[in-house]
Amino acid sequence: MKSIIIIILLMSGNILLGQDTLRGDYRIIIQGNLGLSRSYIQRTTIIDKAEYTQTGLMGTMRVLWRPDHLLGIGIETGLLRVSNLLVKEDANLPVGSAIKLGAIPILAVFSMEKYGIEISSGVGIYDYHVDALVNAEITTSSNEWEIGWMVSAGYYYPLTRSLGVGGDVRLYAIPERSVQLMSLSAKFQWQLWY
């Protein structure tokens, strides 16, 4: 009984550490990205005097299924910060008011990877939300579901058979809102071979 438990523990450890035991040609890949984004947006609200921030942090997660050829498919979601606008002076809005724009993508992703170079694209919907704050309290909040897309290119360096790091550049777009975000991010990847 002891030997059976030891064999099971060794096998599960080999799978997690990416050893060749029980290795197949199919992979399930989990990628996490954290980086900076810069937005390009047509503003519909023009303030007399305001501080406008187009850059911010973004984070996404992908789950991909990659069989024994180049093409992989999966889904991506995360949190994209679009922009912040802080009112300094305006005839209609109180000084100190802020308008925050953000988006949560839910995208079907198609990815090709060879020699660590990954090119991918995605299409789906974005939960585009607007929060208006006065004195740091949300007074108005709205969200709309919008159709959009994404393209990216990046590099992946394996640390072990299962773990790796890298980076990529991505372009997210919500055409109906005339919103585009360019991001540069670090990538952390774990993959299960089966």
Q: What is the DSSP letter of 135?
A: T
- C-beta separation of 47 from 93 below 8 A: yes
Token pair of 65, please? Answer: 């299924």
Residue 173: per-residue pLDDT: 97
194 residues of the chain, pLDDT tens digit each = 555 555 555 555 444 444 444 456 899 999 999 999 999 987 766 777 878 899 999 999 999 999 987 899 999 999 999 998 888 877 777 787 888 999 999 999 999 999 999 999 999 999 999 888 887 677 888 899 999 999 999 999 999 999 999 999 999 999 999 999 999 999 999 999 98
Q: What is the pLDDT of residue 4?
A: 54
Taking every pair of C-alpha atoms in the chain, what is the biggest distance, in angstroms?
Answer: 79
Structural domains of the chain ordered from first start: 26-193 (2.40.160.20)
Predicted pLDDT of residue 122: 98
pLDDT score, position 19: 43
Report the Cα–Cα distance between both ends of the chain, in Å, rounded.
Answer: 26
- Can you give the pLDDT at residue 16? 47
Q: What is the pTM of this model?
A: 0.81
Cα angle for residues 28, 155, 148 (degrees, 5° grid):
70
